[in-house]
Amino acid sequence: MKLFGYCVHITGTVADSLLYINMGGLVLVTPSGSPADMGAKMLLLIAVGLAVLSGLHAITSTGQEFITTFLQNHELNYPQAKFQLFISSYSQFTTVTISIQKSLFKRDLFLTKGQTVVVNMPAFAEMAGTAKFCHTVWVRANQDISVLALSSKKNSADVTAVYPVNHLGVEYYVFTPPGELANSYKEFSVLAWRDRTTVEIHLKGSVRFQERIYPAGSKLTVVLPPYEAIQFQSRQDLSGTLIRAAKPVAVLSGHTCAHKNTNCNHVVEQLQPVSNWGRSFFILPLSFQTNYDLAYVVASQATVVSYNANGRQMNYNLLAGQVLQLKVTGSSPIYITANVGIQVFFFGTGGIRSDLTFDPFFSSIPGVLSYCTSYSLHSQMGFENYALIVAKTVATSGIAMDGHSLAGVSWRPIPGTGYSWSEYRLGKDGSAHTMTHHSSPFGLLNLGIAERNAYGTTGLCQSGIEPSVPQPSCSSIQCRKTESCQMVHGQPQCVARSAATCWALGDPHYQTFDKQAYNLMGTCTYTLAKTCGPDMTLPAFHVAAKNEIRGRLSVSYISLVKVQVYGYDISIARKEYGLVRVNNQRSRLPISLHERKLWLYQMGTSIVIETDFSLRVSYDWNSQVLVKISSSFSENVCGLCGNYNGDPADDFRTPDGSLALSPAEFGQSWKLDDGDKACWNDCHGECKKVTLDVLIKSKVETSCGWISKIEGGPFSQCHSVVNPKIFLENCAYDLYIYEGQRDVLCQVLKSYADACQE
């Protein structure tokens, strides 16, 4: 059912005030020339940095056309209401027009470079309840500007950057912060740009619209004419609601009065479309929070989120529309990564510090790839102001404020990331600052607390205003010790210096990445290799294999291979030639997944699973598995394939860090629970021992000796690539166990040929 609805037109004019702001401080001028009383929370508007406004990406705050609207703030009749736009110019002779649709409200501005004008908007610009809305705000300019929107009532205020129309999208996921007080509502709005558009809204909470209740799980379809909006409110959580539009739209989300620990406060953020989401984020704790704050991660598809904090690593699997809540305490920063883009928010829950009671606040958290080299920020009068900074550890000494090195700053490393963070006090006076680094991007949050007040926002990136872009070079990045920097298409990239292959073959024989050879006859499911270790920036993967007996209890063969990567569960079963299971759905090869970053295809008699980060897993649908990784993963993998640190002597490392004394003990430590209670980890009895005479007999030229024959041998050209010694030993062992069966010899010879080709 498509809902059209209608809007009420307001044709009267409403007087407004213009407030002119100099970059060095705040000057408020009303038409009569008297100082303006901005109310208890009006200083919030300065905190977000009026020189340059920025969102999740370096230049998203600047443009020449903007659309926005004001979500309902607290109760409609709440006193001291002010709705304002902050228009900042970065060029001489900038003309700006601000208008409200379906009304006579219109203002023309003429700005010079570095000037910011504050425009008071009429009260009818505020949305109300769940309804369609015509009085949206339209801002146009002849040169790049930035726009900030402030909604303020008594003890209830928030700000949001307004992003230019060229950064709007067609797919969004809503997040609404907590708050259950009476007469308060979670809310979001959808605003059409210049084209009439159909909008599908897949609700996660129930809403009442036009005398009809739409329950959670239902789809509501509306048609929005150009520059019209719709607001939805609910007592239920609307987080995870999916919005799909035929044409680009703007989406704002928040709460009329969010509440957690102390008083409630109106919060609002303009959301980023899914296409703009990032994959890696730092979430920093606040020294002034004696309780805890909250961070939220929103997924748009099957997503693996890796959480790293205080030495703990956890993985979470999210589906589209699911929201992960994380506690943020003063103990340690949180570093999260995902295999696909995610949306991350910080919710300051409010708190009490000494005799100061401060309110909640709500902010997006920028992704690491959206960090900038230059920011503006503004400390607020009457607030305890802070800058939270996260930067590459090697670059911290180069960060400057107002052209001078940071004084008295204490940097704390974030283990395993190559980044450090600092909380820098800005004082209590209201003053403008710039924070820069000559070449290395860093992240910045601007925070402050006051009585019954608080603010928080991302740093305001100046990139794209007057760009000073250094020439890309290898000096701007830091590679791992097993990598080298190379210039690729004009950009520095870290490239692995080498690679290593681990294999399991035969009945079965194993060789680790560091070339430690051993035999493991267990019949359980085991981890072959997975990411672990101190470097949390590496992409996550997990390769496991299930063994089975084939006629003899004393030996086993690989019958099932499982690979987890990029949020996919991939299974390959013995003898299912040309087939693979992806997320439990059987498919034919070849397959390309995850925006062509994951490939599954057949090469010869084997299936190959390959990623864009050089992981390669092959299985011959019978008994042989090879796992190849680049040296980027050195010291950051574990499992039956070892730790890849160049030392085979410590490859029997167990999950608890100890060294196993035998292959059976090693295998037991990496056993996975697959429901097979009858599996075992040894030879199921006494392992058969091979005498030296038997080995010598099997190594003759007409048998296993074909592998090692040098002159005229069928594999002589492989000797320089793969040492034949271990394959020769395995061949002799297998022929003894199987009493000289020729098909066993053929399988071993094939294994050596495959290893050579790999």
DSSP 460-524: EE-TTTS--PPPP-GGG----TTEEEEEETTEEEEEES-EEEEEEETTTEEE-TT--EEE----S
Q: Span 526-542, mean pLDDT?
A: 90
At residue 54 the predicted structure's pLDDT band, cuts being 50, 70 and 90, is very low
The separation between the first and the last C-alpha atoms of the chain, rounded to the nearest angstrom, is 57
Averaged pLDDT, 571-581? 94
pLDDT of residue 685: 60
Please give the C-alpha separations between residue 744 and each of 156, 545, 716, 741, 748, in angstroms, as whole numbers: 77, 21, 21, 6, 6
For the chain, give the mean pLDDT. Answer: 84
pLDDT on residue 416: 84
DSSP for 664-725 reads HHHHHHTEE--S-TT--SS-SSSPPPPPHHHHHHHTSTTTTHHHH--TT-TTGGGTTTS-SH
Of 468 and 589, the structure prediction assigns the larger pLDDT to 589
CA distance readout (Å), 648 to 344, 499, 517, 530: 41, 15, 9, 17
Q: H/E/C letters for each residue in 67-132? A: EECECCCCCCCCCCCEEEEEEEECCCCEEEEEEECCCCCEEEEEECCCCEEEEEECHHHECCCCEE
Residue 95 has pLDDT above 90, yes or no: yes
- The pLDDT value recorded for residue 686 is 62
The SS3 of residue 740 is coil
pLDDT at 27: 26
Q: Which tokens in the block code for residue 88?
A: 């900042």
User: Does the pLDDT of residue 70 top 60, yes or no?
Assistant: yes
Backbone angles phi, psi at 388, to 5 degrees: -95, 120
Q: What is the pLDDT of residue 571?
A: 97
Residue 344 makes CB contacts below 8 A (sequence gap 6+) with: 278, 281, 283, 295, 296, 297, 298, 336, 364, 365, 367
pLDDT tens across 182-234, in order? 999 999 999 999 999 999 999 999 999 988 999 999 999 999 999 999 999 99
Checking if the pLDDT of 545 tops 90, the result is yes
Cα 493 to Cα 438: distance, rounded to the nearest angstrom: 19
pLDDT confidence bin for 463, thresholds 50/70/90:
low
Of 144, 146, 75, 79, which Cα lies nearest the Cα of 116? Answer: 146
pTM value is 0.58
H or E segment at 222? strand 219-224
Identify the residue whose tokens are 């270790």: 533
* Cα–Cα distances in angstroms (integers) from residue 215 to residues 187, 201, 210, 218, 223, in the given order: 15, 12, 14, 6, 20
| Least confidently predicted of 241-250, 267-276, 717-726 | 717-726
On whether the CB atoms of residues 497 and 480 are closer than 8 A, the answer is no
* 64-73, 299-308, 375-384, 437-446: segment of lowest average pLDDT: 375-384
Q: Is residue 717 very low, low, confident or very high in pLDDT (cuts 50, 70, 90)?
A: confident
Residues paired with 216 in a beta bridge: none
Confidence of residue 115 (pLDDT cuts 50, 70, 90): confident
- Please give the Cα distance from 479 to 484 (Å, whole number): 6
pLDDT range class, residue 450, cuts 50, 70, 90: confident
pLDDT at 44 over 60: no
pLDDT for 623-679, tens place per residue? 889 999 999 999 999 999 999 999 999 999 999 999 999 999 999 999 999 888 889
Res 30 pLDDT > 60: no
What pLDDT score does 473 carry? 75
> What average pLDDT does range 516-526 have in this prediction?
90
| Two tokens, residue 356 | 């100061």
* Cβ contact 62:146 at 8 Å: yes
Task: Look at residue 381 in the predicted model and tell me its pLDDT.
Answer: 65
Question: Can you give the pLDDT at residue 14?
Answer: 34
pLDDT value at 379 more than 80: no
Question: Of 268, 359, 242, which Cα lies nearest the Cα of 83?
Answer: 268
For residue 23, pLDDT beyond 80: no
Residue type, position 510, single letter? Y
Cβ atoms within 10 A of the Cβ of 384, count? 19
Separation CA 731–CA 95 (nearest Å)? 82
Predicted pLDDT of residue 57: 41
Q: What pLDDT is recorded for position 687? A: 63
Q: How many other C-beta atoms lie within 10 A of the C-beta of residue 468?
A: 11
Residue 113's pLDDT is 82
Residues 477, 481, 486, 489, Cα dihedral to 10° = -60
SS (H, E, C) 243-281: EEEEEEEEEEEEEEEECCCCCCEEEEEECCCHHHCEEEE
**Residue 43: pLDDT over 70:** no
**Burial per residue of 600-637, b for 16 or more beta-carbon CB atoms within 10 angstroms, e otherwise:** bebeeebbbbbbebbbbbbbbbbbbbbbbbbbbbbbbb
CA distances from 329 to 54, 127, 326, 334, 756 (A): 27, 35, 10, 9, 52
Beta-bridge partners for 309: 312
Decide if pLDDT at 552 tops 80. no
Q: Please state which of the ranges 15-24, 247-256, 423-432, 600-609 shows the lowest mean pLDDT.
A: 15-24
Gap between the Cα atoms of 671 and 93, Å rounded: 70
| CB-count exposure of residue 80 (10 Å: 0-12, 13-18, 19+) | middle
Q: Between these two residues, 687 and 77, which has the higher pLDDT value?
A: 77
What is the C-alpha to C-alpha distance for residues 331 and 334, in angstroms, rounded to an integer? 10
Residue type, 635: E
Phi-psi region of 635 (alpha: psi -120 to 50; beta: other; left: phi over 0): left
Residue 28's pLDDT is 30
Structure tokens at 60: 């998203």
**pLDDT, average across residues 530-537:** 86
Question: Which residues, listed in sequence order, are joined to residue 658 by a DSSP beta bridge?
Answer: none
Task: Tell me whether residue 28 is exposed, middle or buried, using C-beta atoms within 10 angstroms of its C-beta: 0 to 12, 13 to 18, 19 or more.
Answer: middle
Distance separating alpha carbons of residues 449 and 428, to the nearest angstrom: 10
The pLDDT value recorded for residue 7 is 61
Going by the DSSP 8-state scheme, the letter that residue 383 receives in this structure is S
**Using CA atoms, how far apart are residues 130 and 233, in angstroms rounded to an integer?**
5
Q: What are phi and psi of 755, to 5 degrees?
A: -65, -35
For residue 372, name the pLDDT band (cuts at 50, 70, 90): confident
Q: Which amino acid is at 623?
A: S
The span from the CA of 538 to the CA of 224, in Å, is 44
Q: Contact at 8 Å (CB) between 37 and 436?
A: no
Q: What is the C-alpha radius of gyration for the chain, rounded to an integer number of angstroms?
A: 31
User: Mean pLDDT over residues 64-91, rounded?
Assistant: 91
